[in-house]
Chains A and B, each alone.
Chain A
């Protein structure tokens, strides 16, 4: 099976250096070959959710949130209490 590694990388927002493309492709192909080992006679009807494993949500209550400066402390570029990104509109 031929994998379109460049398309996958684009979807995943990754760029693979040119000299690594072949290596990535061949390793991905052997990995996919490995995970293709799935039974043919599997019943694929029914829900993907496990009905026995329910989740319990907490109440939707107003609570103090983190101070803005603490949240921004890890942001690479900030100014005036905002996160800076490259310009998106001309």
Chain B
């Protein structure tokens, strides 16, 4: 069977269950295809091909013996390179972790392996997940499969690109301010940021710990749910993780109330994007959803709150990189102080340094009350506004990104323009809520557009239901032949 690599995880599972293919055959097909296409896509920092083939053989052996198998047994998955993998290099896209080989697995990795998944490799990302285009990687810039002169979004750039280019059916990303949903949107795939606490963060290299969340990326809603199901739930290694029981989703929005917040449809959103989103809302309305207007008045301030909180936490989290215990060590060993400074200055890229500096600034004496404290108070207000709005409806629909994918280099020298693009996604992280990108067509440059469905805490099944209904109604999402 040719092109096994291009199947969805669901299709692979069917064939495996019927014993029409083996996991090794699938894995070989995936590896060959990555070797053919990845020079152009640049989705991977590290390949895990030898291990992957062994994992696949292990899944086949279990199947042959009739042993109990996980749902993902024999199915290839890619991991963003900020999730620790035992004995497999984990860089977080940074020079400072360029040679870091973790002695342990992140909980999500343990869960995937226990399920029998095949770990194909570690994907390209913005350094420490700080970026919206993938251009802040210390290694390479992943490409958008729909137009390789454009960015795939970020920071889970490689995870989005590898799924969109049909190199693998499934990938994990992490989302602190939109880093799963935005690259999913820009590459035309599904990506879900679960509720804060739904998935363990143990072994995820921290950026903003109170906002970070790992989540699934795939080309179909069913595949997205399949991966989410495998990773969610309480983990004693992450005190913020919650007892979470995965609930099955449906495919009908009949009788559902969907909120449209006017604050998300302002001038900053391109006309083409708005047009596609209104059309998608119309489609859901035709399927029986009731559309109600809701208001989230503090949306304008969300970017400030997000960047203050995220960078404050980052400046503290990244304090551990000192060139002593692990990672890159600086050239100046003339004193301990100089070792710290040279390790950090030579090891961190400019964007990371900028965010550390901003975090240091907003936490520094005399500025704490004006910035950090205010941002945390604003976070409470934003949470309350979402809570109130979500009393009037079952879920909220917004644009996911103000524009479609831009050209590589177009915004890379203007951090403020780059940061401003996160306006539609950061609010969710601030409020700790789940959200999903649903592809909804293409703009005049043939680049994907997506809308965001967000909901109450732990309402992932509602979001998946809405996404599934839309996917069925439009006859599935377009896939780029690559």
Contacts and interface: CB of A to CB of B under 8 A. Distances in A.
Nearest to B361: A8
What band does the interface of chain B fall in when counting residues whose beta carbon is under 8 Å from A?
35 or more
A14 B339 contact: no
B303 A34 contact: yes
A31 B358 contact: yes
A15 B415 contact: no
Interface in A10-63: 11-16, 24, 27-28, 30-32, 34-39, 42-44, 46, 48, 50, 53, 55-58
Contact of B239 (A16, A32, A34, A56): A56
A83 to B, nearest CB: 6
Contact of A83 (B324, B358, B383): B324
Contacts of A32: 358, 361
Contacts of A28: 354, 357-358, 361
Given A38-B301, A55-B240, A85 B377 contact: no
What band does the interface of chain A fall in when counting residues whose beta carbon is under 8 Å from B?
35 or more
Contacts of A8: 357, 360-361, 364
Given A5-B357, A70-B103, A86-B334, A13 B303 contact: no
A71 B329 contact: no
A75 interface: yes
B344 A13 contact: yes
Interface string B98-110: 0111011000000
B374 A53 contact: no
A16 B348 CA distance: 11
B283 interface: no
Contact of B303 (A9, A37, A46, A48): A37
Contacts of A75: 324-326
Contact of A42 (B336, B341, B357, B381): B381
B17 to A, nearest CB: 37
A27 B361 CA distance: 14
A48 B348 CA distance: 30
A46 B384 CA distance: 15
Interface stretch (B304-312, B447-455, B461-469): B304-312
Nearest to B100: A74
B345 A15 contact: yes
Among A5, A13, A27, A73, the one with the most B-chain Cβ atoms within 10 Å of its Cβ is A13
Interface string B293-306: 00000101101110
Given A8-B357, A48-B373, A42 B101 contact: no
A33 to B, nearest CB: 8
Given A35-B304, A73-B101, A24 B354 contact: yes
Contacts of B338: 86
B345 A14 contact: yes
Among B369, B380, B419, the one with the most A-chain Cβ atoms within 10 Å of its Cβ is B380
B308 A35 contact: yes
SS class, residues of chain A in contact with chain B: loop
A55 to B, nearest CB: 4
A27 B419 CA distance: 12
Contact of A88 (B300, B336, B348): B336
B480 interface: no
A39 B361 contact: no
Contacts of B369: 44
A5 B41 CA distance: 38
B392 interface: no
A76 interface: yes
A34 B354 contact: no
A14 B58 CA distance: 47
B48 interface: no
A42 B377 contact: yes
A31 B334 contact: no
Nearest to A30: B416
Contacts of A27: 354, 415-416
A12 B101 contact: no
8 contacts: A24-B353, A31-B416, A37-B301, A38-B375, A53-B240, A55-B239, A75-B324, A86-B333
Interface of B: 99-101, 103-104, 196-197, 234, 236-237, 239-240, 298, 300-301, 303-305, 307-308, 315, 322-329, 333-342, 344-345, 348, 353-354, 356-362, 364, 369, 371, 373-378, 380-381, 383, 415-416, 419-420, 432
Given A39-B381, A50-B383, A86-B339, 20 more contacts: A8-B361, A12-B359, A14-B348, A15-B345, A24-B353, A28-B354, A34-B304, A35-B362, A35-B371, A38-B371, A44-B377, A46-B380, A48-B376, A48-B377, A50-B380, A53-B197, A53-B432, A56-B239, A83-B324, A85-B339
